[in-house]
Amino acid sequence: MKKIFAVNVLLAVCVAAVGYFGFCNGFDGGCDGYEVAATSSPFSINVVDEDEGKVHTKLFGLIDLKTSKAQKSEDREVWLGGFPLGLDLDLKGLMITGRSGVVTSDGAASPCENTDIRSGDVLVAIDGRPVGSDKTIAEILNAKKGEPVELCILRGDERKTYTVTPVKDVLSGNYRIGLALQDGIAGIGTATFINKDTGKYACLGHAILSQDGSVVRIDGGKIYNAFISGCVKGKIGKAGELNGTFNSKSVSLGTIEKNCTFGNYGVYTGKTSSLKSVKIGGRNSIRPGKAQIYSTVSGSEPEYYDIEIIKLNEQTAPSDKSMVIRIVDKSLLNATGGIVQGMSGSPILQNGKLVGAVTHVFSADPTKGYGIYADWMYELTR
């Protein structure tokens, strides 16, 4: 019977350390405060029985405290990511980026001035007709000739309706509602892995969020090869960022199907012959201590960098903020100052297995950040 023992010797009095993290990529995503505290029983021992698929937590190694299900990883093998991806997301409507005045024959006007429509909202329909382009909006508004219209707005999971009166723009001759709109979101993140069995990929490890903090609802999208051209180093109080480019007119590497709390997911259609094969390490097999991330901070080829896993959170159901990591690799610290925007999704490996992905950086200390367990990301690629 194969067993793995891990001893956690903790103080009976928990000591909390509080800090904050900023964005970990070019998207507005997943940021709030965090609290690190010891939560395990003092002097407890976790006995991982891989043959029986159970984890036994014992006080002083003798008294059973609980038994939970262990994660077996032998049959879970993936293609390792670490390379940058250009993400071009289509939206369920048009995202509102702000309000704009309209020049009319009577002066400047703002049709939405008395509403609470805000940046980050998505305009889904006008008078019940779906909108996906400025051309469609112009057709609807011009046909109404200045009569009031009903706007359907999506804010997170909430649908809201507003009645506004369009005004005629003397410069273009079109009726307008005074909203600045965009039809998609683009940015760069890091691929985590590709499921060998399904061909589905995982990247980022956290959601792309709108300006109000809600998860952006998407209507598909595509992924592309990306190239990292430089880096703005992170410093205390301000996250750094990778600078990169991708060509949305080139051949895509696959489709984007989902944007959720645990990242971006879809089908990968690019070549995998040059990628490394690696097994998933179940969350119960991870230990604080030495590990590596596999990430690209220049060009398009990933490299291994040394890190430390300094805290693990016990999670029995999918959740983000699974672990706290610290960058210790001198070459990476010299290049980036720590974790920077654009590194989200970078694989975390321990003992040769994929155990997680980088998700956030602590703005109070850019050498530290959060990672998510690979278990949770893998389930979304099955």
Please identify every residue annotated as catalytic: 206, 329, 344
Q: How far apart are CA 35 and CA 17, in angstroms?
A: 6
Q: Are the C-beta atoms of 65 and 44 separated by less than 8 Å?
A: yes
Q: Are the C-beta atoms of 369 and 358 separated by less than 8 Å?
A: yes
Q: How far apart are CA 14 and CA 19, in angstroms?
A: 16
